[in-house]
Amino acid sequence: MKKQPALILVLGLPGSGKTTLARQISQELGLPLLVKDDLKVMLFDVYGWKDREESQKAGTASYKIMDYIIEEQLRHGNSLIVESTFSPMHEDAKFKKWQEKYSAKYAQVYCYADADSIRRRFRERAAIDHRHVSHIEGEGGLQNVENYIQQGINPLNIGGTLIKVDTTDFSKVNELGIAEQLRAMHSCS
């Protein structure tokens, strides 16, 4: 009998602290972490980067690769953590299908912060991290963040556990407490 996999999604706007929190939760729970922007940077490493259009193509390819990895892990009964800016409009049906097909337990860690903090973090990251997509995308990326701020990113409509985390002041985020909640609710570890 296959074990029931847990899929923990860490989502929110760019610059909301998703990756930082996801890495801490992954470390605490001992679960593998899949980060969409890491896949995108790997594609840039192989194919290079020319402009915003190429970045968008790499983003689309990153999601396809991520979907493949997620489904393979769920198919084998493996739990994992995935970080990205998931959109209910584009993702709900796929995750519901996987939940039904693989009996996956879902948890969402929804990160949010005020708009000024998100803008500041995006600019800071672009200035210091020359490998991150925020640096590569420059002003086009900043405009994309503005679009996200205007539209918002909401948790997915897939059931399971939802933990909302205000990351405006990251020093107030209780990463260990979040990991313990996830461990208790989903027997993750």
pLDDT (tens digit per residue) in 145-167: 777 778 877 899 999 999 999 99
CB of 16 within 8 A of CB of 113?
A: yes
Between residues 21 and 88, which one has the greater pLDDT?
Answer: 21
Distance CA 108, CA 162 (A): 5
Calculate mean pLDDT across residues 122-149: 67
| 105-112, strands of its sheet edge to edge | 33-35, 80-84, 6-12, 105-112, 161-166
Element (H, E) at 37: helix 36-47
CA distance 146 to 140: 10
Q: What does the pLDDT look like over 36-56, one tens digit per residue?
A: 989 988 998 888 777 777 778
152: left (phi over 0), alpha (psi -120 to 50) or beta: left
For 50, the token pair is: 């020319």
- Digit-coded pLDDT (tens) for 62-92: 999 999 999 999 999 999 999 999 988 889 9
Judge whether residue 142 has pLDDT over 60: yes
User: What are the φ and ψ backbone dihedral angles of 160, each rounded to 5 degrees?
Assistant: 80, -165
Q: From CA 73, how far away is CA 33, in angstroms rounded?
A: 11
- Please say if the pLDDT value at position 189 is more than 50: no
pLDDT of 1 higher than 60? no
Helices 175-186 & 18-29 angle (0-180, nearest 10): 60
CA 73 from centre of chain:
16
* Domains defined along the chain, listed by start: 6-186 (3.40.50.300)
Confidence bin at 138 (pLDDT 50/70/90): low
| Model confidence pTM above 0.75 | yes
